[in-house]
């Protein structure tokens, strides 16, 4: 597709379950970012992939959060043993090189932990 695609668009899960969120960046974009936005809050950085470099995981809030990027393209954000405070919109963005080039955002995955 032409843009950044995220799936699912909505996810409701029970507390304690694991969830996987997927991001398909724009083809050829080497940089991929995960952010989350809790209700009424600003954007919070989670993790950044740049090409074949080791990812910047400094924003991951706990060891329950992990992310992979396979083949330099699709990325999966995994949240283990979900908690209610994990409820947020999880946004993925990609750019050609890094934030020095224009970035494109996906529509996000709205995660609700009940």
CB closer to another protein out of 1 and 14? 1
Count CB neighbours of 61 within 10 A.
12
Q: How far is the CB of 34 from another protein (least distance, A)?
A: 11
Give the residues lining the site for another protein (CB under 8 A): 33, 37, 42-43, 45, 48, 50, 56, 58-59, 89, 91, 93, 98-105, 107-108, 110
CB closer to another protein out of 19 and 89? 89
Residue 55 per-residue DSSP state: P
Distance CA 16, CA 14 (A): 6
Q: How far is the CB of 107 from another protein (least distance, A)?
A: 5
CB closer to another protein out of 56 and 80? 56
Q: How far is the CB of 43 from another protein (least distance, A)?
A: 4
Residue 42 per-residue DSSP state: -
Q: How far is the CB of 85 from another protein (least distance, A)?
A: 19
Distance CA 11, CA 39 (A): 15
Name residue 7's beta-bridge partners. 22
CB closer to another protein out of 11 and 104? 104
Say if CB 8 and CB 77 are below 8 A apart: no
Say if CB 21 and CB 111 are below 8 A apart: yes
């Amino acid at each position: 597709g032409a843009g950044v695609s995220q799936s699912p668009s909505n996810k409701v899960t029970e507390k304690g379950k694991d969830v996987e969120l997927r991001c398909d960046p724009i083809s050829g974009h080497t940089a991929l970012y995960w952010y989350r936005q809790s209700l009424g809050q600003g954007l919070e950085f989670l993790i950044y992939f740049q090409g074949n470099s080791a990812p910047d995981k400094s924003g991951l809030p706990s060891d329950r959060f992990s992310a992979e990027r396979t083949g330099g393209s699709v990325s999966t954000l995994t949240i283990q043993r979900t908690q209610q405070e994990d409820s947020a919109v999880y946004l993925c963005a990609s750019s050609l090189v890094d934030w020095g080039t224009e970035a494109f955002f996906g529509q996000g995955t709205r995660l609700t932990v009940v």
